[in-house]
Chains A and B, each alone.
Chain A
Amino acid sequence: MSHLNRENELAILYEIASISRHLRDRETIQNLTLEKATRLLGAEIAVLYLAARSDAQLHACAARGIRLKKVSSVLPPGNLALNLGQQLLVWTASESTPFPVPVLPAQYPVQAALGIPIKRSTGLLGWLYVAILKRAAFDPREIALYDVLADQIASTLETTLAWEQAWQQQVALAETNRQLEQALSAAHEAYIRQERLLQTIRDLSVPALPVGDHTLLVPLIGYIDSQRAQQIRTTMLAAVGQQHARFVILDMTGVALMDTAVAQTLLDTTRSVRLLGAQVIVCGITPRVAEVIVVLGIDLAITTVSDLRAAIRLALLRR
Chain B
Amino acid sequence: MTFLAGSGSSQHTDAYQAGQEAATGALASLAGHPPQLVIVFTTEHYDQATALQGIRASIGTTPLIGCCTGGLITAQGILERGIAALALYGDDLEVALALEPDLSTRPALAAQRVSEQLEDYLAPLDSPRHSTALIFTDGLTGALAMDTVIHNVATIFGPFCPLIGGAAGDNLQYHQTSLFVNDRILGDSIALALLTTAAPIGIGVRHGWKPIGQPCVITRSMANVIYELDGRPALEVYRSLFPHSDLTFENFRQFTRYHPIGFPQATGEFLVRLPLQANPDGSIICLGMLPEYAVMYVMQGDPVSLLSAAEAAAQQAMTALHGVPVAAAIVIDCVTRPPLLGNRTATEIDRIRAVVGIETPIIGMYSFGEIAADTGPVCFHNKTVVVGVIGKY
Q: Which residue numbers of A lie inside 8 Å of B, CB to CB?
A: 1, 3-4, 7-8, 10-12, 14-15, 18, 21-22, 35, 38-45, 63-67, 70, 105, 107-108, 132-135, 142, 145
Contact = CB atoms under 8 A, between A and B. Distances in A.
15 contacts: A4-B268, A12-B295, A14-B294, A14-B295, A15-B294, A38-B377, A39-B265, A39-B376, A42-B375, A64-B154, A64-B377, A66-B158, A67-B158, A134-B375, A142-B266
A107 B125 contact: yes
Contacts of A67: 155-156, 158
A150 to B, nearest CB: 15
Contacts of A21: 292-293
Contact of A40 (B125, B268, B291, B375): B291
Contacts of A14: 217, 293-295
Interface in B346-393: 373, 375-377, 379
B268 A1 contact: yes
Contacts of B215: 7, 11
B293 A12 contact: no
* Most B CB within 10 A of own CB, among A14, A44, A64, A70: A44
A63 B291 CA distance: 19
A3 B158 contact: no
The SS class assigned to the B binding surface is loop
Contact of B377 (A44, A63, A107): A44
B204 to A, nearest CB: 13
B159 interface: yes
A12 B265 contact: yes
Nearest to B296: A11
What class of interface size applies to chain B in its complex with A? Answer: 20 to 34
* Most A CB within 10 A of own CB, among B156, B158, B160: B158
Interface in B224-269: 263-268
Interface in B292-338: 292-295
A57 B375 CA distance: 34
Given A12-B265, A39-B377, A42-B266, 11 more contacts: A1-B268, A12-B264, A14-B217, A14-B295, A39-B265, A41-B265, A42-B377, A43-B377, A44-B159, A64-B154, A107-B125
B5 interface: no
Contact of A145 (B151, B155, B266): B266
The 10 closest A-B pairs by CB, nearest first: A18-B293, A42-B376, A11-B295, A107-B125, A8-B264, A3-B268, A11-B264, A15-B294, A38-B377, A41-B266
B266 A1 contact: yes
Nearest to B267: A42
B29 to A, nearest CB: 32
A4 B265 CA distance: 9
Contacts of A133: 159-160
B281 interface: no
A39 B150 CA distance: 12
A15 B291 contact: yes
B120 interface: no
Contact of A42 (B151, B217, B265, B291): B265
Nearest to A35: B291
B377 A65 contact: yes
A150 B31 CA distance: 57
B293 A63 contact: no
Contacts of A108: 125, 159-160
Contacts of A39: 265, 271, 291, 376-377, 379
Contacts of B154: 64-65
Contacts of A63: 155
A134 B159 CA distance: 10
Interface in B277-294: 291-294
B63 to A, nearest CB: 26
Nearest to B380: A39
B147 to A, nearest CB: 8
B264 A22 contact: no
B155 A18 contact: no
Nearest to A34: B151
Interface in B180-203: none
* Most B CB within 10 A of own CB, among A4, A8, A70, A105: A8
* Most A CB within 10 A of own CB, among B155, B217, B375: B155
Contacts of B267: 1, 42
Contact of A45 (B126, B159, B266): B159
Contact of A65 (B158, B263, B268, B294): B158
Contacts of A4: 264, 266, 268
A1 B265 CA distance: 10
Nearest to A42: B376
Contacts of B158: 65-67, 70
Contact of A18 (B151, B265, B292): B292
B80 to A, nearest CB: 34
A15 B377 contact: no
A141 B350 CA distance: 38
Contacts of A45: 159
A282 B151 CA distance: 98
Contact of A44 (B263, B265, B376): B376
Contacts of B295: 10-12, 14-15
A39 B158 CA distance: 15
A21 B217 CA distance: 14
A40 B266 contact: yes
Nearest to B264: A8
A15 to B, nearest CB: 5
Nearest to B215: A11
Nearest to A41: B266
A8 B375 CA distance: 17
A70 to B, nearest CB: 8
Nearest to B291: A15
Interface in B117-166: 125-126, 151, 154-156, 158-160
B85 to A, nearest CB: 31
